[in-house]
Chain A
Amino acid sequence: DGGITQSPKYLFRKEGQNVTLSCEQNLNHDAMYWYRQDPGQGLRLIYYSQIVNDFQKGDIAEGYSVSREKKESFPLTVTSAQKNPTAFYLCASSSWRGGQETQYFGPGTRLLVL
């Protein structure tokens, strides 16, 4: 069953703690993305990776870090430097067919601060 999985569904962070959100895909997609969604703000790009061992900052990368050691996996770490981490986090991956790209999303992780 192909798709994008994110875990956990809910995550609680204490002050000063780093937390890592998991994103895995078995679609054989090269590119993967992390977005943050706040009420009324739409989707904002945090980081993206178009190939293994390479990634670029998006619009709101401060306080976040990523790695891309495997094609299937793109974990996001929310560091203690991110002062307002409460949000809905979405992972996506994209496929290219006939010169056209389509981006698909995972189910999301909701991060809450204790």
Chain B
Amino acid sequence: EDQVTQSPEALRLQEGESSSLNCSYTVSGLRGLFWYRQDPGKGPEFLFTLYSAGEEKEKERLKATLTKKESFLHITAPKPEDSATYLCAVQAAGNTPLVFGKGTRLSVIA
């Protein structure tokens, strides 16, 4: 069974304090790993897709990386507006639906 585990469940950072969120996965043939940002009471917003180990993608203060067992979302010098829940999802080979983790709730304090 495909599984996604995100850690930590919640993370509190001071503004400018860089850190990483983890997404560990077990999947039978990875087709893609997805990162989303979700603000309270809103739908998830697409951030990145990673397809193969060693791949990296960046967007502003966020950088996502992928290995064969996990993905990291690095946040460099975060600002209060980066506060949100970050969701990770994987898609297995065979055009199967995404499997989501429970998310990491990030709070950045000014």
Residues of A at the B interface (CB closer than 8 Å) are: 4, 6, 33, 35, 40-45, 48, 50, 58, 88, 90, 92, 100-108, 110
Q: Quick check: B97 and A58 within 8 Å, CB to CB?
A: yes
In the complex, which residues of chain B have a beta carbon less than 8 angstroms from the beta carbon of A104? 46
| Interface pair A42/B98, CB less than 8 Å apart | no
B87: contacting residue among A43, A44, A50, A58, CB under 8 A: A43
Establish whether residues B32 and A48, one from each chain, have CB atoms under 8 Å apart when the complex forms.
no
User: Which of these, B34, B43, B97, B101, contacts A108 with CB under 8 Å?
Assistant: B43
Is the Cβ of A101 less than 8 Å from the Cβ of B100? no
Structural contact, B46 and A102, CB atoms closer than 8 A: yes
- Do residues B87 and A42 form an inter-chain contact, with CB atoms below 8 A? yes
- Least CB distance from B49 to A in Å reads 6
Question: Given known contacts A43-B87, A90-B44, A108-B42, is B32 in contact with A101 (CB within 8 Å)?
Answer: yes
In the assembled complex, the Cα of A100 lies from the Cα of B36 at a distance in Å of 16
Interface string of B13-54 (1 = CB under 8 A from A): 000000000000000000110101000011111100101000
Q: Contact partner of B102 among A6, A40, A45, A101, CB < 8 A?
A: A40
10 smallest CB-CB distances across A and B, nearest first, come from A105-B43, A42-B102, A43-B100, A105-B44, A42-B100, A107-B43, A108-B43, A106-B43, A45-B97, A90-B43
Instruction: Select from chain A the residue with minimum beta-carbon distance to B51.
Output: A100
Q: Are B51's CB and A103's CB within 8 A?
A: no
Inside 8 A of A4's CB, which chain B residues have their CB?
43
Query: B78 at interface (Cβ–Cβ under 8 A)?
Result: no
Q: Please name the residue on chain B nearest to A106 by beta carbon.
A: B43
* Distance, CA A102 to CA B48, complexed state (A): 9
Kindly list chain A residues whose C-beta atoms are within 8 Å of the C-beta of B107: none
Contacts of A35 in B (CB 8 A): 100
A100 vs B55: C-alpha distance in the bound complex, in angstroms? 15
- Sample of 20 A–B contacts (CB below 8 Å): A6-B43, A33-B97, A41-B102, A42-B87, A43-B44, A43-B87, A45-B98, A48-B97, A50-B95, A88-B41, A90-B44, A100-B32, A100-B49, A100-B51, A101-B32, A101-B91, A101-B95, A105-B43, A105-B45, A108-B41
